[in-house]
């Protein structure tokens, strides 16, 4: 997984304290099975993937959506996606994590 470019405007738009959490530009995976994104927390980078199945089940993404629609759906639900990812990393520290429909079913 590559974590390429930091988008500082997300942190500003979400009113996050500086340097606490920075988000990296999301990308649709080449196999179109998910969206990869990264969180930078406490000087470590966590590579994350949310599956297309999770976006379809919990964020109203239509089946066979275009990359542009997938990324719009991801961005629209990003606050919730990030919150679940951060909770999962706190409970089970890792450098990579995958978010599936099961991760959203209990929240």
Q: Is the pLDDT of residue 32 over 70?
A: yes
On whether residue 106 sits in a domain, the answer given is no
Q: For residue 78, give the CATH number of its domain.
A: 3.30.160.140
Q: Are 24 and 41 in contact (CB under 8 A)?
A: no
CA atoms within 13 A on the CB side of 74: 26
In the DSSP assignment, the letter for residue 66 is: -
For the chain, the domain total comes to 1
pLDDT the model gives residue 3 = 56
Which domain, by its residues, includes 27?
Answer: 8-99
pTM of the model: 0.78
Report pLDDT digits (tens) over 33-82: 999 999 887 778 899 999 999 999 999 999 999 999 999 999 999 999 99
- Written in H, E and C, the secondary structure of 3-17 is CCCECHHHHHHCCCC
């Amino acid at each position: 997984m590559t974590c390429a470019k930091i988008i500082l405007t997300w942190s500003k738009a979400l009113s996050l304290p500086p340097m606490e959490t920075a988000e990296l530009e999301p990308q649709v995976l080449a196999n179109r099975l998910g969206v990869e994104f990264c969180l930078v927390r406490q000087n470590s980078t966590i590579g994350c993937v949310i599956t297309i199945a999770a976006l379809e089940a919990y964020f109203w993404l239509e089946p066979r959506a275009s990359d542009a629609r997938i990324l719009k759906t991801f961005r629209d639900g990003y606050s919730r996606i990030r919150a679940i990812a951060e909770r999962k990393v706190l409970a089970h520290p890792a450098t990579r994590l995958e978010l599936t429909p099961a991760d959203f079913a209990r929240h």
